[in-house]
Amino acid sequence: MKSSAIAHSNIALIKYWGNWNKVSPELNIPLNDSVSMTKYGFSQNTHLQTHTTIEFSEDFKENKAILNDNLLKGRDMERILKIINALKKLKKIDYKFKMISFNDFPTQAGLASSAAGFAALTIAAAKALNLDLSQEELSTFARLGSGSAARSIHGGFVYWYRGTSHETSYAEQICGPNNFDVNAIIAIIDEGKKDVSSDLGHELANTSIFNTLRVKKSHEQADEIKAAILDDDFNKFGTIAENNCMFMHSVMMTSEPALFYWSPLTLRVIKKVLNIRKAENLDCFFTIDAGPNVHCLCRPENTEYIQNMLAKIEGIEKTILVKPANDSYTTNEHLF
């Protein structure tokens, strides 16, 4: 009962921010539909993915989870157990487990490491337990660990329906990685752990008077961006993604207490992107998750130029080119 999986992180294009807690806060049912691109990084040692091996055995006396050589406890272990307990219930067994996991990129730095992590855990655990689940069903279990992980099960461009129950809050693929030609360049500003967890951020979302409006608008924009992807309309796609990002950050900045994920350098990168677009008439757009790092979206033919421009900004630690990834997958390469 041992299996391994590799899962990719994703960048949200229509953001998930805030949970709908009417059924249960444990379920991570979001307030609005969201859309993302699953990403594969082209940097020497960084593909922005998580590799996880898990084994269940009746001989194990306790659960053990290790991420990047660190034993996980507290909230981290709780999130893992939410997925594992739900899958074990389905299989009707109660064995303990051992899990070893490696992220090839910084953990909890606003680069969606938990999305990749919980997607890899779900895929590996479902296989180890010999559960025959569809991609959509897998996404519901990944969601229990971290909402955005629901989207990382699929490759390419992904739509997560908010739903109103465990079963109806799932993610499905809009189109595969080769059906819409987009690159993203991540301008890395800070790879350190973020100050405020997304958990707390989700709780604070509704303290902003703008959140109701953001939720309403996000539903519309999720439909619109899906259409733009299927119509291969990059300009519309980027315009909507950038706009939706600003809605989420406006909500963050007007929460009580206010959350500021940006650093001064974040704003400098935003201005650079706007400048490249206006002055050079080049289609590029920015989006930012819960951290200071900026993703710049562009067509592949403009990538090299834009990457050079971003790398020149003083203070940018590095840039990472990312392209749409394939589905996350199981592998026979076990970590123990």
| Residues forming the site for ligand DP6 (CB under 6 A) | 12, 15-17, 34, 112, 114-115, 146-148, 198, 289-290
- In the bound state with ligand DP6, the residue whose beta carbon lies nearer, of 149 and 276, is 149
Tell me whether residue 56 or residue 105 sits nearer to ligand DP6 (CB atom): 105
Q: 238-252 burial, b if ≥16 CB within 10 A, otherwise e? A: bbbbbebbebbbebb
Nearer to ligand DP6, 10 or 303 (CB): 10
Write down the least CB distance from residue 203 to ligand DP6, Å: 11
CB of 155 to ligand DP6, least distance (A): 16
Identity of the residue, 181 or 203, whose beta carbon is nearer to ligand DP6 in the bound complex:
203
Nearest alpha carbon to residue 115 among 188, 44, 27, 11: 11
**Minimal distance, residue 335 CB to ligand DP6, in Å:** 22
Closest contact distance (angstroms) between CB of 151 and ligand DP6 is 7
Distance CA 283, CA 302 (A): 8
Kind and range of the H or E run holding 118 = helix 113-128
Specify the residue, 293 or 319, whose C-beta has the smaller distance to ligand DP6: 293
The minimum distance between CB 253 and ligand DP6, in angstroms, equals 13
d(CA 248, CA 15): 7
Rounded Cα gap, residues 9 and 120, in angstroms: 10
**CA 27/CA 169 separation, integer angstroms:** 9
Q: Cα angle at 200 between 197 and 205, to 5 degrees?
A: 120
